[in-house]
Structure 1
């Protein structure tokens, strides 16, 4: 029987986001590909250090303990690597060393694998390679550039916290275009006028939908076992404030989606909020916001829409 991905939350992860490849990349840049291959061969049994996205991926995969059958997981994570299969062995050995239940991978030396995302039902691709991410987003695919960020991972903390900006991330960039053309007053007037009209989806709307499915499964588990405490918490952290907040709330409701917390900051710097919230991943479409948040939490740039035009 074929393995069906259609009902699962599928995330693609580059080895550059899952593991710290600083040392390996330095060998490649300074000594060339043959030396890099020899280095990976020599260190094949040495587990790579954890990367920025490791805590997020580990917690995401841990939710498979909610599956009704071990062979029917809720979450699937697939490695998408620019390594060739031989040098990629170290990546898979590292996966095994950390007991991550990742068994599927694509190795394409020197090439991005984002065009295979629809075939694999992926609702998110994470990579530390900015060019790969930009190409994926330009092709209409949901991807994020994992920035060099703080990445604390408390093994005693089972909660998975995910934070999203709204415009250009969960929603499209139509309102951002109004803001850039007409300023803050024009933006607010436009949002009030269109408060009852839901936004078109942005690149990560379907990823949030997949997270919400898992949250509903957690609610079922809590009803069956009152001692079970839900582990997934989703926050909206946006520069919107009243009255523009209403359209964001209504859009989520119209899409059948939800967040647990909402921070409508009205231009207040997001850094202090993210430092307090401590998400395991924060997604924003503007690098200017992420420069401050990266010092306290894993931060991901979604290079979508007008805010990233010409960047």
Structure 2
């Protein structure tokens, strides 16, 4: 996945807009788009996030899950032994890594948004990024499913 830096500053009409201060002091393009979202007066309930406004967050599999043992196998024994190890352990979930609590918090926010706005899209789109072989992907999927099922 690659992020285009122009998308980060694009307005609703595709032009870059630097009129909004980082601290939100100026209405800038937000003020210009109020009418296009149907705001004609006071709003009783906040609008749900638009899919095109969702924040996509890419997370490496190496920070989402603990993979030190597997990395050591790769470094000491090479790619073939690494892949063999992964296939042999594909039903053993990885332990949560340092980014795991962050991703779980984002999922909680998405869940709460779904409760408030049942028809809305998620505010955060979380993407798992890995350079691993497809055989490792099976273990990653199994791990994600394991941790999803073990949620309270």
Aligned positions of 1:140-179 closer than 5 A = 152-154=8-10, 156=12, 157-179=52-74
Unaligned ranges ≥5, structure 2 = 13-51
> What is the RMSD of the two structures over their aligned residues, measured on CA atoms?
2.4
Q: 2:85 aligns with which of 190, 193, 202?
A: 190
Matched residue of 1:244: which SS?
Answer: helix
Q: Which has the bigger relative contact order, CA under 8 A and spacing at least 6? A: 2
Cα drift, residue 241 of structure 1: 2.6
**Length, aligned pairs only:** 106
Q: Give yes or no for the alignment of 1:210 onto 2:105.
A: yes
Deviations 1:193-218 (CA, angstroms, capped at 9, x unpaired): 11111112211111111111112123
Work out the CA distance in 2 between the residues paired with 1:254 and 1:196. 9
In structure 2, the CA distance between the partners of 1:241 and 1:220, relative to structure 1 (3 Å rule), is farther
Work out the CA distance in 2 between the residues paired with 1:151 and 1:171. 32
Unaligned ranges ≥5, structure 1 = 1-148, 258-311
Deviations 1:189-240 (CA, angstroms, capped at 9, x unpaired): 00111111111221111111111111212322342xxx52322111111011
Higher strand share: 1
Q: Which structure has the larger Rg?
A: 2
Work out the CA distance in 2 between the residues paired with 1:174 and 1:203. 15
Work out the CA distance in 1 between the residues paired with 2:98 and 2:129. 16
> Where does residue 180 of structure 1 map in the other structure?
75
Q: Give yes or no for the alignment of 1:199 onto 2:94.
A: yes
Q: Give yes or no for the alignment of 1:241 onto 2:133.
A: yes
